[in-house]
Amino acid sequence: MKRLLLVPAVAFAAALPWLVDDYTTATLARLLVLGLVGVSVALLTGVTGLPTLGQTAPFAAGAYAAAQLGLHDVANEPVRLLAAAGVGAAFALLTAPLVVYARGVIVLMITLAIGELAITVASRWKSVTGGTDGLIAAPTLDTDRARYLYTLAVVVVLVALVLLALRSPAGLLLRASRDDEARMRASGHPVTAYLTGAYAAAGGIAGVGGALLVTTQQYVSPADFSFDTAALLLLGVVIGGAGSMLGAAAGTAFVFAARDWLSGLLPGHAPLLLGALFVVTAYLLPRGVAGFDWRRLGRAARAASPGAMRRRNQEA
Amino acid sequence: MGELDPYLIPALDGVAYGLLLFVVAAGLVLSFGVAGILNLAHGTLYAIGAYVAAWLADGGWAAVPLALVAGVVAAAAAGTALAGLLTPVRRGDHLTQALLTFGLALAGGSLLVSAFGPDDLPVRVPAALDRPIDLAGHSYAAYRLVFIVVAAVIAVGLYLAVTRTRAGMLVRAAVDDPQMVACLGVNPTRVRVGVLAVSGALAGLAGVLGAPIIGPGPTTAATVLLLSLVVVVLGGLNSVGGTLLAALAVGEIQTLGVALLPTAAPFLLYAAMALILAARAQGLLRRWSTA
């Protein structure tokens, strides 16, 4: 049933550029890109059990790879996509030894360090990245509408591939490694190799996200990959539900949309409302929107009401 | 000695910076190690102290104790409120804690900016300390020297509190075996609230004293949070000494490192963090999973 709803949802998304103006179309394209990176974060955080603040690093690697190809007159989009995916996955394979032996909060800290290192490299390696000034990439597609539709197509195909992969034995192996690692190891499964594979795949997806970012905004700078971006990606994934790829994509897009929309609506007060949103989500939806049992809405709302929380505090 | 001379001032700055980070990070170690709370709002608690200092300090001596008391009380109250807000979140559910505390940090930062304005605020230190003094042929800010002494005293006091007092023993016991501590009749909720209040007080204290070094502004909370996370990670969670060494190392990397190796220094901090974490992942895992 849920899967049937996806068809009209994608059709509606494809029709959107004819319903809104060009600026909104360009904004939506950027949100799609961030949603895709959110999927790569969810793949690690929810399915593999490696919560990450570092997917901005392969995201950046892919973006700069695509931008460099653009500067060298490679206007072929599929070539750029493949190159960005390759660079993102290669970056992930390089950093995998740092990540796959750790678990839980330590992964969060290691990936935080990897992300910060990536920004430092991006702002200092001026010959490749243009430093903090960033790089301007010539547009490969002429209109906002074309760029949006292209991004939508790539994102839909990739997310479908991820969903298929997770339904295959590979997805089962990853979830089993997350839930009972000792037992998997005892049955002879090379858990570390599985995690490395998932980490590299997530790096590749984030790399593609980077190439799409360059396509949609024709500009890339270290500010696109800041700690704020990394944190909002993780929080968007948690809000959407780290176990669900579609929930994660929607959650990420929603968080970034809320940030941009609120800062236009109430200049200076966007962080306050965004912060309040996170706090409310933490209480109401501990497993994210997608992990929420909607039939229990009434009960959950009562349990999370201030009165109930006060009672619980008194008991504790 | 001659060729070392140009590095004396950055090295001394590094000590001041490191001791400042130690006081902040000690609070973070407490909340993570003892209460098992990943507090991403810890930098905001520092910012509260720093803003209070900027607001109250008027260049006179009377404002110093006033700012200290007000800053520490405000940050400790915020830490206690945090403990209350975190009560419904399951212990060890770090992602939800991250969501909640990051949300509070965003909202708190926004409120601080609405209250104090979007600019970095200048902080006035007492006039007697607001001048350079002569130090082996260099002029050095008097306030920083005094800060080094005061922060060293705080560090020694913390060490003694953790190793010699009953509360310190409880804290160490709670890191090693929280269930056993609960079985011995110590209310875990009281330990949690107490730890977060002390953690907030330490951040506030660091904020008031450190305001002339890392001043209050919109980016203060993020800077302090990231640096103290690095310190916590490098120092492990098992000893005050480890945290102190890590804090001094980070302080020196940020000052002396930039003077000695301007190209490599920005990478050094996070590269060291990633490598040490990865190398000790197994050992740390056992400790951190109980924390």
Q: Do B151 and B22 touch, CB atoms closer than 8 A?
A: yes
pLDDT of residue A290: 54
Q: Do B95 and A116 touch (CB under 8 A)?
A: no
Q: Is the pLDDT of residue B192 over 80?
A: yes
User: Which residue in chain B has the smallest CA separation from A311?
Assistant: B88
Residue B102 lies in a domain: yes
Give the Cα separation of B129 and A19 in Å (integer). Answer: 64
ipTM: 0.79
Q: Do A281 and B273 touch (CB under 8 A)?
A: no
Its domain, for residue B129, covers: 6-290
Classified as helix, coil or strand, A316 is coil
Count how many pairs of residues, chain A against chain B, have C-beta atoms within 8 Å. Answer: 146
Q: Is the pLDDT of residue A159 over 80?
A: yes
pLDDT of residue A86: 95
Q: Do B99 and A106 touch (CB under 8 A)?
A: no
pLDDT of residue A291: 54
Q: Do A278 and B273 touch (CB under 8 A)?
A: no
pLDDT of residue B289: 39
Average pLDDT, chain A: 84
Q: Is the pLDDT of residue A296 over 60?
A: no
Count of alpha carbons within 13 angstroms of residue B225, beta-carbon side: 25
Residue B160 lies in a domain: yes
Give the Cα separation of A23 and B97 in Å (integer). Answer: 36
Strand partners, B141: B132
pLDDT of residue A298: 45
DSSP string, chain B: -GGGGGGHHHHHHHHHHHHHHHHHHHHHHIIIIIT----TTHHHHHHHHHHHHHHH--SSSTHHHHHHHHHHHHHHHHHHHHHHHHTTSPTT-HHHHHHHHHHHHHHHHHHHHHHH-SSPPP-PPPGGGSSEEEETTEEEEHHHHHHHHHHHHHHHHHHHHHHHSHHHHHHHHHHH-HHHHHHTT--HHHHHHHHHHHHHHHHHHHHHHHTTTS--STTHHHHHHHHHHHHHHHH-SS-HHHHHHHHHHHHHIIIIIHHH-TTTHHHHHHHHHHHHHHHTHHHHHHHHHH-
Residue B27 lies in a domain: yes
Q: Do B263 and A124 touch (CB under 8 A)?
A: yes
Q: Is the pLDDT of residue B202 over 80?
A: yes
Q: Is the pLDDT of residue B45 over 80?
A: yes
Q: Do A50 and A195 touch, CB atoms closer than 8 A?
A: yes
Nearest to A105 among B94, B105, B113 (CB): B94
Using a CB-CB distance cutoff of 8 angstroms, which residues of chain B are in contact with residue A269? 110, 114
| Domains in chain A: boundaries | 2-315
Nearest to A214 by CA among A138, A272, A111: A138
pLDDT digits (tens, 9 = 90+) for A75-102: 788 899 999 999 999 999 999 888 888 8
Higher pLDDT, B129 or A237: A237
Report the gap between the CA of B189 and the closest CA in chain A (Å).
7
Interface mutation vs chain A, best among B80, B93, B101, B102, most A CBs within 10 Å = B102
Residue type, B267: F
Q: Do A238 and B105 touch (CB under 8 A)?
A: no
Residue B251 lies in a domain: yes
Using a CB-CB distance cutoff of 8 angstroms, which residues of chain A are in contact with residue B273? 109-110, 113
Nearest to A279 among B104, B273, B288 (CB): B104
Q: What is the CATH number of the domain that holds B47?
A: 1.10.3470
Nearest to A275 among B98, B106, B282 (CB): B106
Q: What is the CATH number of domain A2-315?
A: 1.10.3470
Q: Mean pLDDT over residues B125-130, rounded?
A: 78
pLDDT of residue B285: 42
**Which residues, 6 or more positions from A96, have their beta carbon under 8 angstroms from its beta carbon?**
A195, A196, A199, A200
**Which region among A239-253, B190-204, B210-224, B257-271 has the lowest average model confidence (pLDDT)?**
B257-271
Residue B193 lies in a domain: yes
Q: Mean pLDDT over residues A8-33, rounded?
A: 87
Higher pLDDT, A7 or B237: A7
User: Which residue in chain B has the smallest CA separation from A113?
Assistant: B270
pLDDT of residue B262: 79
pLDDT of residue B22: 94
pLDDT of residue A210: 95
Give the Cα separation of B239 and B158 in Å (integer). Answer: 11
Cα separation of the two ends of chain A = 42
Q: Is the pLDDT of residue B263 over 70?
A: yes
Q: Is the pLDDT of residue A293 over 50?
A: no
Report the gap between the CA of A154 and the closest CA in chain B (Å).
30
Q: Do B99 and A97 touch (CB under 8 A)?
A: no
Beta-carbon count within 10 A of A14 CB: 14
Would you mind telling me the total number of residues written for chain A in this entry?
A: 316
Residue B277 lies in a domain: yes
Classified as helix, coil or strand, A64 is helix
pLDDT digits (tens, 9 = 90+) for A274-286: 888 888 888 877 6
Using left for φ > 0, alpha for ψ between -120 and 50, and beta otherwise, residue A218 falls in left
Using a CB-CB distance cutoff of 8 angstroms, which residues of chain B are in contact with residue A309? 87-88
Strand partners, B134: B139
Helix or strand run (H / E) with residue A220: strand A219-220
Q: Do A117 and B89 touch (CB under 8 A)?
A: no
Using a CB-CB distance cutoff of 8 angstroms, which residues of chain A are in contact with residue B104? 275, 279
Q: Is the pLDDT of residue A301 over 70?
A: no
Nearest to B285 among A51, A102, A109 (CB): A102
Nearest to B25 by CA among B12, B10, B39, B6: B39
Report the gap between the CA of A292 and the closest CA in chain B (Å).
14
Q: Radius of gyration over alpha carbons of chain B, in Å? A: 19
Q: Do A277 and B103 touch, CB atoms closer than 8 A?
A: yes
Report the gap between the CA of A203 and the closest CA in chain B (Å).
18
pLDDT of residue A35: 94
Higher pLDDT, A132 or A88: A88
Tell me how many domains chain B contains. Answer: 1
**Which region among A118-127, A177-186, A300-309, B26-35 has the lowest average model confidence (pLDDT)?**
A300-309
Using a CB-CB distance cutoff of 8 angstroms, which residues of chain A are in contact with residue B285? 102-104, 106
Q: Do A268 and B110 touch (CB under 8 A)?
A: yes
Interface mutation vs chain A, best among B99, B187, B237, most A CBs within 10 Å = B99
3-state helix, strand, coil in chain A (%, to 5): 80, 0, 20
Q: Extract long-range pairs of A124-127: CB within 8 Å, 24+ residues apart.
A: A124/B263, A124/B266
Interface mutation vs chain A, best among B44, B94, B95, most A CBs within 10 Å = B95
Residue B1 lies in a domain: no
pLDDT of residue A316: 43
Q: Is the pLDDT of residue A180 over 50?
A: yes
Report the gap between the CA of B275 and the closest CA in chain A (Å).
7
What is the sign, positive or negative, of the torsion defined by CA atoms of B253, B259, B260, B261? positive
Nearest to A117 among B94, B118, B274 (CB): B274
